[in-house]
Amino acid sequence: MFLRDFISVLGGEAIGEVAQPLLGVGTLECATAQQISFLANAKYRRSLALTQAGAVIVAPADRDSSNLPRIVVDNPYAYFARVSQLFAPRQSHAAGVHASAVIAASAKVALNASIAEFVSVGEHCVIGEHVRLGAGCVIGDDVVIEANSELVARVVVYAGCQIGARTTIHAGVVIGADGFGFANENGVWLKIPQTGRVVIGDDCEIGANTTIDRGAIEDTVIGNDVKLDNQIQIGHNCRIGDHSIVAGCTGIAGSTTIGQRVMIGGAVSITGHLSICDDAVLSANAFVTKSITEPGMYSSGLPLMPHREWLKNAAQLRHLDEIVETLKTVAKEIRKPGTST
């Protein structure tokens, strides 16, 4: 493709033009003359000067930072995403049901859906137009999956759950397993049946081996355009608002509500029954035990240090309260009349 091809489809302003058609995208460091790259962060401007890319996508502020053929747009990263999508259109799958799939008689499967080998679909399911169920998916009874969604492979969806349109669910995900609810009676755990569902919106993406538990009584609800990375655990009754995004290995305990446009880093732990407000940002490894009511970025976590220093510092951490008491005493003493001038 030439720059003019991108412009005609995606807009933006072209400065110059490539001599040979572009064949794909690349990073500034690794792109070849047949690839287009982008600069979205000023700290990589040095790479822009050195890149071997055939063309670049830049913001207006970097309009003159390069002599390469270039496209100038307000949001180079988003434009790059769209260019990448042009080069790598989503794979389509042949319509039809593989002979080995086991589809319950009462399930309704769209004729243009693609059901791979070793898939199970339970009673009364509704599988929408152009839905793809990859190899080994297990869909319980009464599940609804709306149009154009894809379950890549080996995804399990328990009975009664709902998945919106254009949602992608990666391999190994488990949707709708029982929430963790037990009552203790004389030292023995009684199971509390988990009768809610998981309801997932449109345009979501859920990463490999992530788990989302069904609600205890009400539903666990994932909004629209929510992006969950790999190996995330979402407890029962949680609600995650539209456009929120969560990085890998994060765990959210039961009955916690996450607002809209919340950004949660990797390996964050959020305890249960909290409320995280719209537009909050939690940095990686944050440990959240209280609700957040003001937008902004929040952090916790002890920084890394050489092991010997950590041993010394960690030992003091156990006594921080006493240290502060000593300090108070000292401060008081020094300010007594007669000691300080």
Q: Could you tell me the two tokens for 23?
A: 């064949």
| Shortest CB 111 distance to a copy of itself, Å | 22
- How many residues belong to the chain? 341
How far is the C-alpha of 238 from the C-alpha of 240, rounded, in Å? 7
Residues in region 11-40 near a copy of itself by CB under 8 A: 24-27, 30
43 lies in the binding site for a copy of itself (CB under 8 A): no
Binding residues for a copy of itself, how many (CB under 8 A)?
131
Given 201, 235, 241, 259, the residue binding a copy of itself (CB under 8 A): 235
Considering only residues 254 to 283 of the shown chain, the ones binding a copy of itself according to CB under 8 A are 261, 265-267, 269, 271, 281-283
User: Does 219 engage in binding with a copy of itself (CB under 8 A)?
Assistant: no
Strand partners, 174: 156, 211
Please pick, from the candidates 205, 257, 275, 277, the single residue that binds a copy of itself as defined by CB under 8 A. Answer: 205
Angle between helices 76-87 and 3-10 (to 10 degrees): 110
Rounded Cα distance between 167 and 251, Å, is 21
Q: Which of 13-21, 56-64, 106-114, 320-328 is the region at the interface with a copy of itself (rule: CB under 8 A)?
A: 320-328
List the one residue from 149, 211, 220, 256 that touches a copy of itself (CB under 8 A): 211
CB 107 within 8 A of CB 101: no
Residue ranges in 58-117 that form contacts with a copy of itself under rule CB under 8 A: 75, 77-78, 80-82, 84-85, 87-88, 90, 98, 100, 102, 116-117
Q: Among positive and negative, which fits the CA dihedral 77, 62, 45, 50?
A: positive
- Which residues, listed in sequence order, are joined to residue 234 by a DSSP beta bridge? 212, 252
Q: Write down the catalytic residue from 236, 243, 273, 307.
A: 236
Establish if 51 lies at the interface with a copy of itself (CB under 8 A).
no
Task: Work out which of 6, 231, 238, 264 binds a copy of itself, going by CB under 8 A.
Answer: 231
Residue (of 108, 110, 109, 114) closest to 91 by Cα position? 114
Structural contact between residues 102 and 119, judged by C-beta atoms closer than 8 angstroms: yes
Does 48 sit near a copy of itself (CB under 8 A)? no
Which residues ranging from 161 to 200 are in contact with a copy of itself (CB under 8 A)?
Answer: 168, 170-172, 174, 177-178, 180, 182-185, 187-193, 195
Give yes or no: 236 in active site: yes
Cα separation, 270 vs 211, in Å, equals 15
Among 136, 201, 223, 241, binds a copy of itself (CB under 8 A): 136
Both tokens of 28, joined, read: 């500034």
Residue 41 touches a copy of itself, criterion: CB under 8 A:
no
Residues 236 to 255 in contact with a copy of itself, rule: CB under 8 A: 243, 245, 247-249, 251, 253
3-class DSSP state of 246? strand
The span of 15-23, 46-54, 106-114, 224-232 binding a copy of itself (CB under 8 A) equals: 224-232
Q: Is residue 19 a contact partner of residue 12, using CB atoms and an 8 Å limit?
A: no
| Among 142, 146, 202, 229, contact with a copy of itself (rule: CB under 8 A) | 229
Q: Which sign, positive or negative, has the C-alpha torsion 185, 189, 195, 199?
A: positive
Question: Burial of 23 by CB count in 10 Å (0-12 exposed, 13-18 middle, 19+ buried)?
Answer: middle
As annotated, the active-site residues are 236
